[in-house]
Amino acid sequence: MDMNSAPEKRAGRPVDIGKRVAVMQAAQKLFISNGFAGTSMDAIAEAAGVSKLTAYKYFGSKQQLFAQSVAAKCESVMGQLAIDHSAGHDLRECLLAFGNGFLSLILNPEAMAVQHLVITERERVPELGMIFFESAVRPISDKLAVMIARHEEAGDIATGDDPLAAAQDLLALWRGRPFMMLELGSGEMDADGLATHVTHCVDLCLKAWTPH
């Protein structure tokens, strides 16, 4: 039997939200401390105080549990941004809010630990990279691309009719300098430095996207 596959589901009691949250929280801690490959569903269930069958009932597999844990963390941060990014609202202000939220997410110690986990274990568990991309990177890129597309349709900007590529470019700019400083051990930006960096990246892109 594939230990990463869920046992056959049966009709039964409704989902206990408290147990589901306990499983997810236990998984997040164990994934970071023991790695993905070094964390079993048995260990997650034991730490959460539930049976392994209960853990599988809520998440289906270890891969699904990892994906939902990452997605939940992203949503908890980015979902707090009440950004009205419809055409007619100031694009620069929307982008600044989005950028500050994005950096607060990816520079969060837990988020950085998950990213480190994906990088260090991708040779042993190749699917982790795609799971992380689909549950964390893609939703954020898509959300930003929607914002850019609406303003391009309104004639506010011109990205070359590729809002997703424009969104990915801007995300890469936001991520670049702060991560390079951390990875090279040359320090980290304080809150004012990060805000200035976000503004600089937004202004660079808006200049490049100026309609001709």
Report pLDDT for 99: 94
Rounded Cα gap, residues 66 and 39, in angstroms: 11
Contacts for 179 with CB less than 8 Å, ≥ 6 apart: 106
Report, as an integer, the average pLDDT of 38-65: 93
70-208 shares the fold of 17-60: no
Q: 89 with 113: CB under 8 angstroms?
A: no
**Is the pLDDT score of 162 beyond 90?**
yes
Residue extents of the structural domains in the chain: 17-60, 70-208
**Is the pLDDT score of 8 beyond 70?**
no
pLDDT in tens, 62-85: 988 988 887 777 676 656 555 555
3-class secondary structure, 89: strand
Angle at alpha carbon of residue 88, lines to 82 and 94, rounded to 5°? 35
**CB neighbour burial string for 105-143, b if at least 16 within 10 angstroms, e if fewer:** bbbeeebeebeebbeebeeebeebeebbeebbbeebbeb
Superfamily designation of domain 70-208: Tetracycline Repressor, domain 2 (1.10.357.10)
pLDDT in tens, 102-154: 998 888 887 888 888 888 887 777 888 888 888 888 888 999 999 999 999 99
Q: pLDDT grade, residue 9 (50/70/90)? A: very low
In the block, tokens 């989005």 appear at 98
Residue type, 152: E
Superfamily designation of domain 17-60: Homeodomain-like (1.10.10.60)
3-class secondary structure, 87: strand
- Locate all alpha helices (DSSP H) within the chain, ordered by sequence: 17-34, 41-48, 52-59, 62-78, 91-106, 109-121, 127-132, 138-153, 163-183, 191-208
Report pLDDT for 120: 83
Task: List Cα–Cα distances, 152 to 35, 40, 87, 138, in angstroms.
Answer: 42, 47, 9, 20
Report, as an integer, the average pLDDT of 188-212: 95
Neighbours of 72 (CB within 10 A): 15
